[in-house]
Amino acid sequence: QVQLVESGGGLVQPGGSLRLSCAASKSIFSIYVMGWYRQAPGKQREWVADITNSGRTDYADSVKDRFTISRDIAKNTVYLQMNGLEPKDTAVYYCNAYMSSNYWGPGTQVTVSS
């Protein structure tokens, strides 16, 4: 099992940036895949980006070239750097860890509005 806690959400103007953090309760090197998902009001949760334990990254087309996923193994933390934020990025962002089962954090709200 693993516990996940997200932080770094908030209110930002269009074009702005935020960095989300996901702290894990165990070594992320032992976790096959860690990723970020988001859920906007009235919509289904959607995949945003992920990083494997070998360091391979992948992104949804809607965030490619704007968002960057990274990790600090020593801190057991995964990050999501979000640049060029748009109102359509407004959502609750969830951290996910897959180790034969899916584990989720409680989420952090990101609101992009002027």
Q: pLDDT by residue for the chain (114 residues), tens digit each?
A: 899 999 999 999 999 999 999 999 988 888 899 999 999 999 999 999 999 999 999 999 999 999 999 999 999 999 999 999 999 999 999 999 998 899 999 999 999 999
Beta-strand pair 108-112/10-12: parallel
Torsion of CA 106, 104, 97, 67, to 10 degrees: -50
pLDDT of residue 113: 97
pLDDT of residue 9: 96
pLDDT of residue 29: 85
